[in-house]
Amino acid sequence: MGRPNYKVGDVIVLKSGLTRTAKANKRCRISSILPNDHGHVQYRVQFDAENFERRITEADIDTGESPSRASPEAAAKSDGAEPWLKFSSIKIGK
């Protein structure tokens, strides 16, 4: 539950009800993996027809319909990745 199962660039299918209409395309591409929120993996995704990104959790993904999954090695490798915000790189003017 705490480990990302998908990687950036994967095309996934969202569950019904998360898009505005039932006939809407539910396929989207993962643009980034966000920090965990209380143990829930979060992703930033974008539909081809939209010019903005949405934040979803892994529970919003239809795992039966989503074709590509990250390999277990890639998921294990992402656990040792550096945080997305590096406090040492922040410069404060004095």
Segment 3-27 shows an average pLDDT of 74
- The pLDDT assigned to 19 comes to 57
At 72, list the tokens: 């277990």
Residue ranges of E strands in the chain: 11-13, 27-37, 40-46, 54-57
3 or 41, higher pLDDT: 41
Q: Between the CA of residue 60 and those of 26, 43, 91, what are the distances in Å?
A: 11, 10, 37
- The pLDDT assigned to 76 comes to 47
pLDDT digits (tens, 9 = 90+) for 16-60: 776 555 556 788 889 988 888 777 888 999 988 888 998 988 888
- CA 5 – CA 84 distance, rounded (Å): 18
